[in-house]
Amino acid sequence: MFRFLAEEAGLGRAGALRAMDRVPRVRNYSVEGKLARRHTFLVEEAGLGRERAAKVIARWPQVLGYSVRKSLRPATRFLVEELGLGKDGAAKLITKFPQVLGLSVEHNIAPKVRYLAEELGLGWAGAAKVITGCPTVLGMSVDDNIAPKVRYLAEELGLGRAGAGKVITGLPTVLNLSVEDNIGPKMRYLSEHFPDTDAAKLVSLACCSLVGRLVPRVRLLRRHGQAGRFAASTMALFTSATFCEKVGVTLVEYDAEVASCVREYAEKQPSPEGGGRGGGCGSRGAGAGEIDG
């Protein structure tokens, strides 16, 4: 069994040991009875090939315990045929989010797709775009997670259902963020400092770190008499070096401002957000509590 994981499945010695540590029952699986059959399904029928199959097993060893007939094949077929991803598209999604293979099509996958396609009005092509951009949506609860975020975008931000759908299609990972701890505080801060900017444009910055990027940059602009010089998205999406060059500050001053914001936030919150130049757009850093700017 160890040799199969290390050599045939391509995990290598260290990877095989990690897989067995994470899912101890794998040690009891027979090569002929379970491991080989599931591995063959991933490589051939699911179209992952050996390299991607190894990544899937390494990331989610539990997949080796899923039934081919009850779990692996139904989930894969739904992605390929019903969602319209095709074999290669489904393989890419499975590689990013192997947990999908353990989800029930009837009770988990299909309801999320129908909600996005029908209730949110994205259509199946739009739903597929969101799911490929944020596969973890398939593991979320519609009632407890997805729908409340849609309502926040549509009602509290005034975007309407169509506007909310457009935001989610353009930035699927917004569904990973908490309204209370992340999106809400960022929107309040950005709306205060960029009051003339459309909410749909501001919410597109929800994946930027609040205290690691947005607040320090706004403060530096104000300190140097350049408030309002840049649009919110331009200000936020500059690299650290470009921002410093445009504003006329050094990276030392920039880092000091970030550190100051992080310290201030840490004094107000029990779990401080990671700052530094790395806390930028595209990362998922928390955007929790309020911070003055």
Domain definitions of the chain by residue range: 177-293
* DSSP single-letter state for residue 14: H
pLDDT value at 12 more than 70: yes
> How many CA atoms, within 13 angstroms, populate the side-chain half-sphere of residue 91?
18
Distance CA 74, CA 21 (A): 28
This model's pTM is above 0.85: no
pLDDT value at 214 more than 60: yes
pLDDT value at 274 more than 70: no
pLDDT band of residue 281 (cuts 50, 70, 90) is low
pLDDT value at 81 more than 60: yes
pLDDT value at 195 more than 80: yes
pLDDT band of residue 26 (cuts 50, 70, 90) is confident
Give the largest CA-CA distance in the chain.
71
Q: What's the pLDDT at 1?
A: 80
What are the C-alpha distances in Å from 204 to residues 142, 174, 184, 233, 235? Answer: 22, 8, 13, 8, 13
- Comparison of pLDDT for 243 and 290, the residue scoring more: 243
Q: pLDDT per residue over 30-57, tens digit each?
A: 887 788 999 999 999 999 999 999 999 9
Nearest of 198, 235, 207 to residue 219 by alpha carbon = 235
Distance CA 228, CA 237 (A): 15
What are the C-alpha distances in Å from 255 to residues 213, 233, 250? Answer: 10, 20, 9
**Do the beta carbons of residue 35 and residue 50 sit within 8 Å?**
no
Number of C-beta neighbours around residue 142 at 10 A: 17
Arithmetic mean of pLDDT, 153-161 = 96
- Secondary structure of residue 58 in the 3-state scheme: helix
Residues 6+ apart with CB under 8 A from 61: 19, 20, 22, 23, 26
Average pLDDT, the chain: 90
In b/e form, how buried is each residue of 149-178, taking b as 16+ CB within 10 angstroms?
A: bbebbbeebebeeebbbbbbbebbbbbbbe
Q: What's the pLDDT at 273?
A: 44
Q: What's the pLDDT at 251?
A: 96
Q: What's the pLDDT at 9?
A: 86
Q: What's the pLDDT at 134?
A: 96
pLDDT band of residue 276 (cuts 50, 70, 90) is very low
Give first-to-last CA distance, the chain, whole Å: 58
At 245, the amino acid letter reads: E
Q: What's the pLDDT at 289?
A: 43
